[in-house]
Amino acid sequence: MSLAEKLREEIERRGPLSVADYMAAALGDEQYGYYMHSDPLGLSGDFVTSPEISQIFGELVGIWCAETWHNLNSPECDLVELGPGRGTLMKDLLRATSHVSGFHDAVTVNLVEMSPTLSAVQRETLTDAHPRIRWHEALPETGRPLLVVANEFFDALPIRQFTTTETGFTERLIGWDRKQGFHFKPGPELTELPGDYPDIPAGTLPEGATLEICPLAQRIMLDIAVHIKTHGGAMLAIDYGYTRPQGVPVFASGDTLQAVRRHKFHEVLQEPGKADITAHVDFSVLAEIARAVGAEASETITQREFLMHMGGRIRMEQLCKNASSTEQQKQLMDGYGRLVALDGMGELFKLLAVTQPGFKPPVF
Ligand code: SAH
């Protein structure tokens, strides 16, 4: 059996799926989900992330965490990474902070990972990196301050999509039939959006606009913000996504759902479980949720701004000086150049900081 067959049977039995059900199965189905049975990262996989491109990324995120921890008065706390992939960011973060006095002693490292395959890779990458590393399937509840980092985690969480109609909304669903295979189809007419989504007065949006909601991202953000408000700490979320101008309740950006396989775009509805599926992150909603429970949320900044302010260029020059060949120097320069590229990752990727009230995070 394949995931396509499993989903087809489910549709025949229970009717069309929401985009979120499809995405959750394509990425996280225990047997066939994309992340569950493969290591998709890196040159030989399907896509590359910032920590896999240059060690400077994880190092500077590490320095940010250590400085934040220091400014929080050096508490005993939980360092948490959501969706750690191969463990590369955490490895670079821990190496870069190993000489920060007291930091490694004060933190317990917690990795939140749903994939057994990637957890195994992380265990290998992080052998001897820290004496206290724990794995969890969901955010651990410990009652201590949190330092949370998440790179390309929120974009992997399942979204629901809605289209505006003359009188309200329809959910975009996924059906299957013999002629068309998997295909998108509109669900029943709704007068309002389900769940905790802002009221959108009728007529505010043009007909046919697509709205995206990520209920799981909202729940995770809520849990973290409540924890940070109550017990202290900070979070750094890094992802590609958007912010909305103030007062605009929803960003009708159109459809941001995309699939990637072997570094190329792939049809979202083709071969579920065989390609990565992501959607752009609505940073405004995450910030609003954090503020609503009394935590503080920053304005977003770009990855380029963050890395440049954190001294990325100096670190790159230092690494180049110690490089063993001109080939290695070129690799270091190319890698850093990609992370800060104006027409690429440097501008596409944004950072949001969420902190305990009254705390100003470094750089933001
Ligand atoms: N942060 C890494 C990997 C990004 S890929 C990097 O930058 O290289 C997304 C990661 O999130 C993978 O490790 C994937 O297994 C994990 N993930 C996706 N959905 C998850 C969920 N619902 N719960 C926990 N981990 C999840």
Amino acid at 344: G
Q: Is 293 helix (H, G, I), strand (E, B) or coil?
A: coil
Q: Of all atoms in ligand 1, which is nearest to the CA of residue 137?
A: 24
Ligand 1 near 41 CB (within 6 A): yes
101: number of Cβ within 10 Å = 10
Q: Is the pLDDT of residue 252 over 70?
A: no
User: pLDDT digits over 322-353, tens only?
Assistant: 999 999 999 999 999 999 999 999 999 999 99
Report the nearest-CA residue for atom 16 of ligand 1: 83
Q: In the prediction, which pLDDT does 253 show? A: 62
Give the predicted TM-score (pTM) of the model: 0.96
Average pLDDT over residues 181-204: 80
Antiparallel, parallel or unpaired: β 210-213 and 181-190? unpaired
Which residues neighbour 324 within 8 Å (Cβ) at sequence distance 6 or greater?
A: none
Residue 55 is predicted with a pLDDT of: 98
Strands of 258-261's sheet in order across = 264-266, 258-261, 276-278
Give the residue, by CA position, lying nearest to ligand 1 atom 2: 85
How many angstroms does the Cα of residue 231 sit away from the middle of ligand 1?
25
Pocket test for ligand 1, best of 27, 35, 278, 303 (most atoms within 8 A of CB): 35
What the block records as the tokens of 311 is: 């001294």
Sign of the dihedral through C-alpha 121, 126, 131, 134: negative
**Alpha-carbon span 291 to 350, nearest angstrom:** 18
Q: CA 305 → CA 47, 251, 287, 308, 333, distances in Å? A: 23, 24, 19, 5, 17
Q: How far apart are CA 202 and CA 254, in angstroms?
A: 18
The CA–CA distances, whole Å, from 155 to 84, 111, 130 equal 13, 18, 28
pLDDT at 41: 85
pLDDT greater than 70 at residue 122? yes
**Is it the case that residue 52 has pLDDT exceeding 90?**
yes
Provide CB contacts within 8 A for 77, sequence distance 6+. 69, 106, 107, 108, 144, 145, 146, 147, 232, 233
Average pLDDT taken over every residue of the chain: 93
| Helix or strand run (H / E) with residue 335 | helix 326-340
Residue 83 CB–ligand 1 contact under 6 Å: yes
The DSSP output letter for 154 is: G
256 lines ligand 1 (CB under 6 A): no
With 90 as the cut, is the pLDDT of residue 290 above it? Answer: yes
Distance 302 CA to ligand 1 centre (A): 21
